[in-house]
Structure formats: structure tokens, C-alpha cells
Amino acid sequence: MTQPNILLIFTDQQRFDTIHAAGNPIIKTPHLDRLVREGTLFTSAYTPSPVCVPARCSLIHGQYPHRTGCTYNGDPMPEDRPSLMQVLTEAGYRTHGIGKMHFRPDPQALRGFQTREHSEEIRERVEDDDYLQFLQANGFGHVYDPMGPRGEMYYIPQPAQMPARLHNTQWVGDRAVAFIREAQGERPFFLFASFIHPHPPFSPPTPWNKLYRAALMPLPRRPDAMEALQIYINRVQNRYKYRDNGIDNNLLRVMKAYYYACISFIDYQIGRMLQALEEAGQLENTLILFTSDHGEFLGDYNCFGKRSMLDAAARIPLVVRYPRRFAPGRVCDVPVSLVDVMPTLLSAAGIDSRPYGLDGLDLARVARGMEDRTVYSQFQRGALGVYMAVNRRWKYFYSAPDRREFLMDRLLDPEETRNRAGVVFCQGDLERMRQGLFSYYREQGFEDPLDGERWRLFPQPSLPEDPDTGLLIQDPGWSKPYQRIPGYTD
């Protein structure tokens, strides 16, 4: 079997409902629409952890967070098991990574890649970041928040401080196109093209920032009694993202307009990659997988950020184009996960995945007719842990800091407006989902959150009452000397 090229296109913080061909009538994504037409769309894709580092760790190792040990952004990724990139490199692939990888503890690590071109949001040294060096070489070294100022401006939509041709999204597209054109050797290639957007701040360049207008944007989904669906981590996020002191509906509509613009600009880069593959005669010999690490509340439930198991944060887009294994135009609603990416790509490459202890399945097998399965997700552990199991009908999750269970009926309440955990008619389903998750964790030897037939009770945290306690500041370390103003900051 001829090994295909593999193009993994990855975004950061992109909701599941942000592809026009997948049901969003407002957003413009012609090239993602093409992937949907010519590939298989997975409409029930979930992240194994609704935050950046653990999700990416599970992606490259094919294992859930309780096995990798990486459950929040401060955890290191494991060093004692092979990554997707390492396995493909050892199988003869030319492997290259472009853009945000968010590797911990060493953001410069190759982790199996033969080569990388680096771009991360917050850097201590310009010398560590290829994109920052590119900006400086093009006369934009004065822009020390190239992805937009964070901290106080985290959720303030803002036009980019550089033209589109120098924007990070364009840079990833440029470098991906260059790699595709140069990688026409005897070996197949694996290219991981990873965008920082649409992660906030939402900062598309001109003219993309005017593609959508606020007055034409719908307001967020805010069902009755939505506060009952918020958990501790939602309240923490709303605080440190400067979004817990009042709601401005006009700002929310600008936010959505700029968020969509960021995605459309990424879509434009995807079109350029597809064109480069066609020009090289490699499109039909390339498996293309598009997905994201997690979602974004974007004001739904009056919440912002991720880290929750509601669909806005935990459900992601996922499309695969490779006609030899994935039927064009097929839609699959069986739950899938980022842990399925590694076995899918290894299977397409003719590599036996059994030696690597993977938790996922080949997505081609799932799409060919699997009726149902359960996928899992976890955020943090101990007193702050949140744990989820989801199948076609039900989503169950438990928030340890709240000591609360949630049961969402995916068939009768797809908008997730009410928690069924307390409904007398749903107690049998609640028990089955709970015990199914307990059984899975016990089989895996993961009993940290369990206490017999119950969830372990930990001390409950509380949010400080002072509304200014916990506000986030994220200034790039390399830029701090430039923030000194003689006579003012002395």
C-alpha cells in the first residue's frame, strides 16, 4: 500500500458550529465547505480535555488525560511514550510542524518532528520564535502583542496591529504552502499546520475585520436558568478574563463578528494549501484532517473561555478528506475524540498502532457504520476535577468543586438548556452513565476521583468576593523592556 501524505490542520479554540456547510448560515468557510463535500464530517467530535495543553497532549499520544497525566495547562507532557510524529518519522515520513504546538515543559521540543517552525503566543525570547523574528525582519518589531494584547484586552475584539500579509495566520499559511511545494521527494510527508486563532484576543487583520458586522450577528445562547449550568471553573474564567462585571450585548456581537473573521481568514489559508496540493499533483494522495483543540463559550450562558463540558467548550469541528478511506459527503454522528486522530493516521499509513496503547479508534472504521460508542473528557483532577462521558443520546459530567452531576439529553435537548440529573424520569439513565464512567476508570486503574460507588469529596474552593482579585495579566517576557517609558515608569 502506498503511504499517503498527511496534512493535519489544527486551530485553537474553534467551536463545533463554525463551518457553513455543517449548518452555520452566517459564517463564510468555502474551503472547509469543500472538505465537508469531499470528505467525511464528524458532527459529534469532542475534545479529551477542554483546554489547550492536555488536548494537544492527548492528540499526539492518542491517550486520554488520566493516562498521559496532563490534565491542565501547567502539567508537563509525558516523555516516556512515543508521539504521533515520532512514530511517523520512524516509519519513513518527512515530518514538519508549523505554528503553535504548546508543548510543555519545553516549548521548543521537537517531540518526534524532524523540523519545526515556531510560533507561540507568549514568549520570553524573540530568538525562540520564528514568527517574531519574521515580524522584526519586516519592520514590525514594535508590535510586542502580535496576537493582540491579552490581560485587560483578552475579550475585547481588536484589529490586528500588522497587515494581513504579515499576520500570524497568513504566516502559517505561507509556511505550509512553501513546505508542500518543497516536499515532493521520495518520502511521504506529515505536515502539522497549527494556527493560534481563533483563540482570543479576536484580532483579525484588515480587511477581514470588516467581513462580518456586529448588527448582523446573533446574540449568544442564553437559556432560562442558565446559571444552573455554570460550574466553578466558569465563574473563575469569567473573572480572570474581565467578563464578570456586566454584559454588553453590542460588545458580544462584535466579539462574534471578529471571532468568525478569524476563522474565515484561516479558511482562506486552507484554500491556499489545497491549491498547493493540487498544483503538486498530490491532493488525492494526501489525507487531510481538520480539527481544533476545544471550543469557546463566546457569551453562551453568559460565559467565556473553555474548560467546561458543555458543547460550546467541549465539542469541536472534525473533517477528514481522503476518498480512498473516507466517503465524500458522509456525515457521521457517532461520538469521536482527538484520541482517535493518531490511530486514524497510523492506519492510513499502514502502521500497526497496537504497540502504542492507544485509547482511540480509526475514524474510517467509525464512519463505516459503528452504531454507538462512548468518549471521555477530563479537566484537571482532585478538588478541581471535571469528568465527562458522552454517547449518542446522553452526556454525563461531574464537577468536583461543585459536587454536582449533570446529565444532558443530546436527542431531546441538543441546545443543552436544562440539566436532567435531578429529573425523576431520568434517574436510570443518570445511574447508567455514572456507573459506566466509574467502570471505565476502574478498568483503567484510575481511581483518584472515586470513593467506592461515589465520587470522592474534596474541599470545595470559593471565588474571592473582591471583584478585582484574580484578574489576569499576560505580558510577553521579551517585551517588558519596551514597556518602560522614561519619566513615567521610573
Give the pLDDT mean for 188-205.
98
Domains of the chain with CATH codes: 5-376 (3.40.720.10)
SS3 assignment for the chain: CCCCEEEEEEECCCCCCCCHHHCCCCCCCHHHHHHHHHCEEECCEECCCCCHHHHHHHHHHCCCHHHHCCCCCCCCCCCCCCCHHHHHHHCCCEEEEEECCCCCCCCCCCCCCCEEEECCCCCCCHHHCHHHHHHHHCCCCCCCCCCCCCHHHCCCCCCCCCCHHHCHHHHHHHHHHHHHHHCCCCCCEEEEEECCCCCCCCCCCCCHHHCCCHHHCCCCCCCCCHHHHCCHHHHHHHHHCCCCCCCCHHHHHHHHHHHHHHHHHHHHHHHHHHHHHHHCCCHHHEEEEEEECCCCCCCHHHCCCCCCCCHHHHEECEEEECCCCCCCCEEECCCEEHHHHHHHHHHHCCCCCHHHCCCCCCHHHHHCCCCCCCEEEEECCHHHCEEEEECCCEEEEEECCCCEEEEEECCCCCCCCCCCCCCHHHHHHHHHHHHHHHHHHHHCCCCCCEECCEECCCCCCCCCCCCCCCCCCCCCHHHHHHHCCCCCCC
User: With 90 as the cut, is the pLDDT of residue 2 above it?
Assistant: no
User: With 90 as the cut, is the pLDDT of residue 481 above it?
Assistant: no
217-272 pLDDT tens trace: 999 999 999 999 999 999 999 999 999 999 999 999 999 999 999 999 999 999 99
Output the pTM of the full model. 0.97
344-375 pLDDT tens trace: 999 999 999 999 999 999 999 999 988 999 99
**Residue 475: its pLDDT value, please?**
87
